Structure 1
Amino acid sequence: MPQINDELLQQIRDRFAQIDHCPQQGPRIFFENAGGALTLNSVVETSQAYAAIPDNQGRDNPGSHELVRVINQAKADMAAFMNAPGGQFFVGESGTELLFRLIMNACLATGPGQVLGTTLEHPATRSACARWAGIAGQSHVLVEHDDATGTVSAEGYAALVTPDTKVATVVHTSPVTGMGVDVEAVAAAIRAVSPDCYIIVDGIQHAAHGRIDLTAYDVDGYVISPYKVFSRHGYGVAWISDRLTALPHNSLIDGPAENWEMGTRDTGSYATMSDVVSYFEWLGSQVTDSTDRRERFLAAGEAIHEQEKALTDAMIHGTGNLPGLAEMEKVTILGGVDNPAREGLVSLVVDGVPSADVVRALNEQGIRTHLRKADHYSGNILTPLGMDSCVRVSMCHYNSVAEVAQFLGAMKTLAA
Structure 2
Amino acid sequence: MDDYKQGRLMDDNLLAELRQKFAFLDFDPDYGERLFFDNSGGSLRLTDAVTVKEKIDLLPDCPERYHQRANDFNEMMDRCTQDVLHVMFGAKSGSLLTELTASQTMFNMVATVIENVSGENAVTTNIEHPSSYDAVEFYCKKNQKEFRVAEANRHTGFVDPEAIAEKIDENTILLSVIASSNISGNIMDLENIIKAARAKKPDLYIIVDAVQHMPHGTLDVEKLGIDGANFAPYKFMASRGIGFAYVSDRLSKLPHRKLLAKDDKVWELGSPAPALYASMSAVMDYVCWLGSWNGEADDLSRRDLYLKGMEKIVFHERALLHRLLEGSDKIEGLRHMDKVKVFADDPDLTKRDLIVAMGIDGKDFEQLRKEYQDRGVTVYERVNTSVYSKRILEAIGITGAIRVSPFHCHTADEIDTFLAITKQLAHS
**TM-score normalized by the length of structure 1:** 0.96
Task: Tell me the SS of whatever aligns to 2:40.
Answer: helix
| Unaligned segments of structure 1, at least 5 residues | none
Task: Tell me the SS of whatever aligns to 1:257.
Answer: coil
Partner of 1:222: 229
1:141 corresponds, among 134, 145, 148, to 148
Partner of 2:399: 388
Amino-acid identity (%): 29
RMSD: 1.7
- Give every structure 1 segment of 4 or more consecutive aligned residues whose post-TM-superposition deviation is greater than 6 Å: none
Structure 2 residue 325 is matched with structure 1 residue 316: yes
Structure 2 residue 340 is matched with structure 1 residue 334: no
Letter in 2 for 1:68: N
Partner of 1:401: 412
Q: 1:112 to 1:222 in 2, by over 3 A?
A: same
Structure 2 residue 122 is matched with structure 1 residue 112: no
Q: 1:321 to 1:258 in 2, by over 3 A?
A: closer
Name the count of aligned residue pairs: 416
Distance 1:388 1:402 in 2: 31
Partner of 1:269: 276
Contact 1:92–1:262, Cα closer than 8 Å, also in 2: no
Aligned residue runs from structure 1 range 230-249, under 5 A? 230-249=237-256
Q: 1:157 to 1:337 in 2, by over 3 A?
A: closer
Contact 2:35–2:376, Cα closer than 8 Å, also in 1: yes
Contact 1:287–1:303, Cα closer than 8 Å, also in 2: no
Structure 2 residue 170 is matched with structure 1 residue 160: no
* TM superposition shift of 1:98: 0.7
Distance 1:66 1:321 in 2: 52
Letter in 2 for 1:327: H
Partner of 2:3: none
Distance 1:63 1:286 in 2: 32
Distance 1:336 1:55 in 2: 51
Could you tell which deviates more after superposition, 296-305 or 129-138?
296-305
Task: Tell me the SS of whatever aligns to 2:212.
Answer: coil
Aligned residue runs from structure 1 range 186-225, under 5 A? 186-225=193-232
Aligned residue runs from structure 1 range 340-379, under 5 A? 340=349, 341-374=351-384, 375-379=386-390
* TM superposition shift of 1:137: 2.1
* TM superposition shift of 1:238: 0.9
Could you tell which deviates more after superposition, 122-131 or 365-374?
365-374
Distance 2:181 2:330 in 1: 31
Distance 1:352 1:266 in 2: 49
Contact 2:19–2:25, Cα closer than 8 Å, also in 1: yes
Structure 2 residue 300 is matched with structure 1 residue 292: yes
Distance 2:89 2:22 in 1: 22
Could you tell which deviates more after superposition, 249-258 or 49-58?
249-258
Letter in 2 for 1:360: K
Distance 1:352 1:386 in 2: 18
Contact 1:333–1:346, Cα closer than 8 Å, also in 2: yes
Distance 1:141 1:255 in 2: 35
Contact 2:168–2:201, Cα closer than 8 Å, also in 1: yes
Partner of 2:53: 47
Task: Tell me the SS of whatever aligns to 1:348.
Answer: strand
Distance 1:44 1:408 in 2: 31
Contact 1:201–1:221, Cα closer than 8 Å, also in 2: yes
* TM superposition shift of 1:384: 4.6
Contact 2:96–2:267, Cα closer than 8 Å, also in 1: no
Distance 1:90 1:132 in 2: 19
| Unaligned segments of structure 2, at least 5 residues | 1-6
Letter in 2 for 1:328: M
Task: Tell me the SS of whatever aligns to 2:53.
Answer: helix
Structure 2 residue 257 is matched with structure 1 residue 250: yes
Could you tell which deviates more after superposition, 335-344 or 276-285?
335-344
Letter in 2 for 1:379: K
Distance 2:399 2:83 in 1: 42
Letter in 1 for 2:289: W
**TM-score normalized by the length of structure 2:** 0.93
Letter in 2 for 1:278: D
Task: Tell me the SS of whatever aligns to 2:176.
Answer: strand
Distance 2:388 2:294 in 1: 37
Distance 1:376 1:204 in 2: 19
Contact 2:342–2:358, Cα closer than 8 Å, also in 1: yes
Distance 1:288 1:334 in 2: 41
Task: Tell me the SS of whatever aligns to 2:115.
Answer: helix
* TM superposition shift of 1:385: 5.2
Partner of 1:59: 65
Distance 1:320 1:21 in 2: 27
Cα displacement string for residues 222-266 of structure 1 (whole angstroms, at most 9, x for unaligned residues): 100100011011110011000111110112343443321121121
Contact 2:63–2:74, Cα closer than 8 Å, also in 1: yes
Distance 1:28 1:289 in 2: 36
Could you tell which deviates more after superposition, 138-147 or 286-295?
286-295
Distance 1:292 1:396 in 2: 26
Cα displacement string for residues 68-101 of structure 1 (whole angstroms, at most 9, x for unaligned residues): 1111111112222221120011321101111011
